[in-house]
A and B are shown apart, each in its own frame.
Chain A
Amino acid sequence: MSRHIISILLENEAGALSRVAGLFSARGYNIEMLTVAPTHDATLSRMTLVTSGTEAIIEQINKQLNKLVDVVTLVDLTEGQHIERELVMIKISTEGLDCDQVHSIVTGHGADVVDESEETCVVELLGNSQKIDALIASMEPLSIKEVVRSGVSGIKRGADFLTI
């Protein structure tokens, strides 16, 4: 079992997202994360999907996705050099907390405090999933109220494009 990031150019049409989601549930594949948004070409959406499975399952996922009529093209980012990014926002209760302790965790992970109130603060971090997991783990002893992850987005490095 290994983790794969599959990046998809999808027709920007009603129901396209359900076709992808439906494929995963109907065939029993894993979806760990899913993000989708329009691109500079209004007819296309870009979807990034994090999944895991054996080599055979990942091969089937790629083939089955390709077979969907709304899927224009796709790439498994994990097969090459790529950048992955995810945004997390963590809201904690600051009541009875040592400000220095929060500060040292935030700076130690390269995160920012983007909102502060009398009882709460929101910490934000942009990074790959490992960095985000690490931040959440360090903040676990504090009083975490909410964790909001954007899910992974990714792109290939260098002069290698996912276009139509």
Chain B
Amino acid sequence: MELTGAEIITRFLKDEGVEYVFGYPGGAVLHIYDALYRQSDVKHVLTRHEQGAVHAADGYARSNGKPGVVLVTSGPGATNAVTGIATAYMDSIPMVVITGQVPTPLIGNDAFQEVDTVGITRSCVKHNFLVTDINSLVCTLKKAFTIATTGRPGPVVVDVPKDVTGFSTNYSYLESVEIRSYTQRYDPPAEQIKAAVEMVMESERPILYTGGGVILGNASIELTEFARMARIPVTNTSMGLGGYPATDPQFVGMLGMHGNYEANMAMHNTDLLIAVGARFDDRVTGNIEKFCPQARIIHIDVDPSSISKNVQVDLPIVGCVKEVLADMINLLQQSGGVDRERFNRWWSDIEEWRTEDCLSYDNGGGVIHPQYVLQQLYEVTHGDAYVVSDVGQHQMFAAQYYKFDQPRRWINSGGLGTMGFGLPAAMGAQFAHPDATVCTVTGDGSIQMNIQELATCKQFGLPIKVINLNNGYLGMVRQWQEFFYERRYSEVTLQAQDQPNFVKLAESYGHVGMQIVNPDDVRPALEEAMAMKERLVFMDFVTNPEENVYPMVPAGAGLNEMILV
């Protein structure tokens, strides 16, 4: 059947099973928006900023595993999308971003709303394309979805000039596409997997250090089974939370800069580090010279370039983490399993570190402590909410105090640390899970970076619960200035009289606003908000201004050199 380029795009998205496109119209995508108007299979979500559209697609992808799809116009549409694309890239989120481009004959002429989108996005995408021929449009779109969703996932940009969306050609959907220069999957390497199991059986103090790869690779069940079978303690990176049930006794908490003491001490003392879908980020390792000094290291990852990038490993295993862990479970079973008593001493060391109770805090003073809000949020939502965080102190508090028992419930910008991520990403999660409780944990700094999306929430009736931990500071920067710059608080104060009235602001967007000042009101307010199933409730918690995130590994220190309080 003969279709225009614009119609091919909408039709392809339908055939690819795309439910939502998050976007913002403009001149170069007028044909595509007209094609969207004339169909009803693919639903479009109009955000109020292109950055919001990309984060929303990102939150959608993180919460349900399907690729997020974005449509924006050329020039500023594309540049506004860049922060969102880079955010998705750093966290390996499957996403396809279709950007309009000026008509082919005008490319390179500094035309109105022209930027070199392929050039600008090159370093923050998994791959990108400029479609100059209508006949390669379908193939390019299929390649984009294939590349975005296979191997280590990531965002792919498809830049489509306006004239290409106006030309016509025959359309038929492509079920699959061959890309000779791209490896879509690696078979699990049997020899290495066998060696890994042997190393586990020989170890005295093993630990599983697992990251976002377990979530992306849907390997939580295998990870949990393997860890329990071998009785190995598990620590998660911030990207990996929910990959192993946080309420399980074998979970020792998050590791790294604001990780649990027991997790970091176990990392420092382990003799066998089993890294699964994690990338030895500097926020995790602390001083790399002092990292896991006694350990042999096994690294399981789908991306060969993640292995031995920051830390030299002893046994690399390139493969899909789900398949590799399944093979390890089988081998372990065949060999009769690990002696349950073998790690008794190791566990008694860990129990000793646990007695530090590193997440305890002083809840007094008649002020609301952010940790308390998160603990109450956990209880009121029965640990069952989708918690989408912004970036800053509140992000770390949420990671520490909300116990995630399931994957994809914790959504945060781990790699890029993008303030303004929380609210739009929560919108994406709510679209993916319309009946679920979706909360965004944010701060008075972060929320104002994409506050305009409150209008999108109104338009689509998204009943997100906004947990604004309002301390009148850009708190994480203030904490570093307190610790390392002798309390010279440079440009981090958001004075009360200069802040918006968040309650009225929420109300003016058509939502419910609440301000909570008294610690005794925290729980009742949360209960009241959660009971409003149909409404977005903006909860402005006025919190202790100079609260710090503890424990902490200072810059340059090893994981065993934590500041506890």
Name A's B-contacting residues (CB within 8 A). Answer: 11, 14-15, 18-19, 22, 26, 56, 59-60, 63-64, 66-67, 69-73, 164
Is B497 at the interface (CB under 8 A from chain A)?
Answer: no
- Of A18, A59, A64, which is within 8 A of B119 by CB? A18
Among B298-331, those with CB < 8 Å from A are: 303-305, 307-309, 312
Query: What chain A residues lie within 8 Å of B303 (beta carbons)?
Result: 67
When distances are taken between beta carbons in the complex, the residues of chain B under 8 Å from A19 are: 122
Contacts of B182 in A (CB 8 A): 69
Q: How far is the CA of A4 from the CA of B6 in the complex (A)?
A: 47
CB distance from A28 to the nearest CB of B (A): 13
Residue in B123, B180, B181, B312 whose Cβ sees the most chain A Cβ within 10 Å: B181
Bound-complex Cα distance A11 to B122 (A): 16
Do the beta carbons of B308 and A59 come within 8 Å of each other? yes
Task: Say whether B531 faces chain A, with CB atoms less than 8 Å apart.
Answer: no
B122, B147, B305: the one contacting A18 at CB < 8 Å is: B122
CB closest chain-A residue, reference B127: A69
A164 to chain B, nearest CB (A): 6
Contact A63 B305 (CB under 8 A): yes
Q: What residues of chain A lie closer than 8 Å to B62, measured between beta carbons? A: none
Tell me the minimal C-beta distance from B120 to chain A in angstroms.
Answer: 11
What is the bound-complex CA distance between A6 and B497, given in angstroms?
61
Q: Which residues of B contact A (CB under 8 A)?
A: 118-119, 122-123, 126-127, 130, 147, 179-182, 303-305, 307-309, 312
A15 and B118: CB pair below 8 A? yes
CA distance A60 to B309 in the complex (A): 7
Residues of chain A with a CB closer than 8 A to B147's CB: 69
Q: Which of A14, A56, A63, A72 makes the CB contact (< 8 A) with B130? A: A14
Report whether B181 and A60 are in contact in the complex, using a CB–CB cutoff of 8 Å: no
Check B304–A22 contact: CB distance below 8 A. no
User: A19 vs B312: C-alpha distance in the bound complex, in angstroms?
Assistant: 26
Pairs A–B under 8 Å by Cβ, sample size 26:
A11-B181, A14-B130, A18-B119, A18-B122, A22-B122, A22-B123, A56-B312, A59-B308, A60-B305, A60-B308, A63-B305, A63-B307, A64-B305, A66-B304, A66-B305, A67-B303, A67-B304, A67-B305, A69-B126, A69-B127, A69-B181, A69-B182, A70-B181, A71-B181, A73-B181, A164-B180
| Least CB distance, B299 to chain A, in whole angstroms | 13
Does B180 lie within 8 Å of A26, measured CB to CB? Answer: no
Bound Cα distance from A164 to B305, whole angstroms? 21
Name B303's closest neighbour in chain A (CB-CB): A67
Residues of chain A lying within 8 A (CB to CB) of residue B126: 69
Q: How far is the CA of A72 from the CA of B181 in the complex (A)?
A: 4
* Complex Cα spacing A26 to B121, Å: 13
Q: Which residues of B contact A26 (CB under 8 A)?
A: 123
B225 shortest CB reach to chain A, Å: 30
In the assembled complex, the CB of A39 is this many whole angstroms from the nearest CB of chain B, namely 14
Q: How far is the CB of A15 from chain B (nearest CB, A)?
A: 6
Q: What are the residues of chain A within 8 A of B118 when measuring CB–CB?
A: 15
Q: A70-B181, A72-B180, A164-B180 are in contact. Are A56 and B308 (CB under 8 A)?
A: yes
- When chains A and B are docked, how far (Å) is the Cα of A60 from the Cα of B122? 19
Q: In the complex, what's the smallest C-beta–C-beta distance from B311 to chain A, in angstroms?
A: 10
The minimal Cβ–Cβ distance linking B237 to chain A, given in whole angstroms, is: 21
Q: Which 8 A-B pairs have the closest CB atoms?
A: A63-B305, A72-B181, A69-B127, A26-B123, A63-B304, A69-B182, A67-B305, A64-B305
Look across to chain B and name the residue whose beta carbon is closest to the beta carbon of A14: B130
Cβ–Cβ < 8 Å partners of B305 in chain A:
60, 63-64, 66-67
Residues of B within 8 A of A66 (CB): 304-305
A67 to B304, CA, bound (A): 8
From A60, A67, A71, A72, name the one whose CB has the most chain B CB atoms within 10 angstroms: A67
| Nearest CB in chain B to that of A64: its residue | B305
Interface centre among B127, B305, B307, B308 (most CB of A within 10 A): B305
How far is it, in angstroms, between the C-alpha of A70 and the C-alpha of B303 when the chains are bound? 16
CB within 8 Å for A69 and B179 given contacts A18-B122, A19-B122: yes
Per the bound structure, the CA–CA distance linking A95 and B498 in Å amounts to 77
Chain B residues closer than 8 Å to A11, beta-carbon distance:
181
Select from chain B the residue with minimum beta-carbon distance to A67: B305
* Chain B contacts for A67, CB-based, 8 A: 303-305
Could you tell me the distance between the alpha carbons of A69 and B128 in the complex, rounded to whole angstroms?
Answer: 9
Cα A69 to Cα B118 with chains together (Å): 14
Cβ–Cβ < 8 Å partners of A70 in chain B: 181
Q: How far is the CA of A59 from the CA of B308 in the complex (A)?
A: 9
A17–B101 CA distance with the chains assembled, in angstroms? 22
Q: For B312, what are the chain A residues with a Cβ–Cβ distance below 8 Å? A: 56
What are the residues of chain A within 8 A of B119 when measuring CB–CB?
A: 18
Chain B contacts of A22 at CB under 8 A?
122-123
A4 and B303 alpha carbons, distance in the complex (Å): 23
Across the interface, name the chain B residue whose C-beta is closest to A70: B181
Q: Which residues in A have their C-beta under 8 angstroms from that of B130?
A: 14-15
Task: Give chain A residues whose Cβ lies under 8 Å from the Cβ of B127.
Answer: 69
In addition to A56-B308, A69-B127, A69-B179, 20 A-B residue pairs with Cβ atoms within 8 Å of each other are A11-B181, A15-B122, A18-B119, A18-B122, A56-B312, A60-B305, A60-B308, A63-B305, A63-B307, A66-B305, A67-B303, A69-B147, A69-B181, A69-B182, A70-B181, A71-B181, A72-B180, A72-B181, A73-B181, A164-B180
What CA separation (Å) do A18 and B125 show in the bound complex?
14
Q: A124–B305 Cα gap in the complex (Å)?
A: 41
Residues of B within 8 A of A64 (CB): 305
A15-B303 Cα distance, complex, nearest whole Å? 23
Q: How far is the CB of B307 from chain A (nearest CB, A)?
A: 8
Closest chain-A Cβ to B137's Cβ sits at a distance in Å of 16
Q: Which residues of A contact B122 (CB under 8 A)?
A: 15, 18-19, 22
What residue of chain A has the Cβ atom nearest to residue B147's Cβ? A69
Bound-complex Cα distance A56 to B182 (A): 23
Q: Give chain B residues whose Cβ lies under 8 Å from the Cβ of A71.
A: 181
Which B residues are in CB contact (< 8 Å) with A73? 181
* Chain B proximity of A142: nearest CB distance (Å): 43
Instruction: Name the B residues within 8 Å of A56 (CB-CB).
Output: 308, 312
Instruction: Give the distance in Å from the alpha carbon of A71 to the alpha carbon of B308 in the complex.
Output: 21
Closest approach, in angstroms, between the C-beta of B405 and any C-beta of chain A?
Answer: 34
Whole-angstrom distance between the Cβ of B430 and the nearest chain A Cβ: 33
Most buried by B among A11, A14, A59, A71: A59
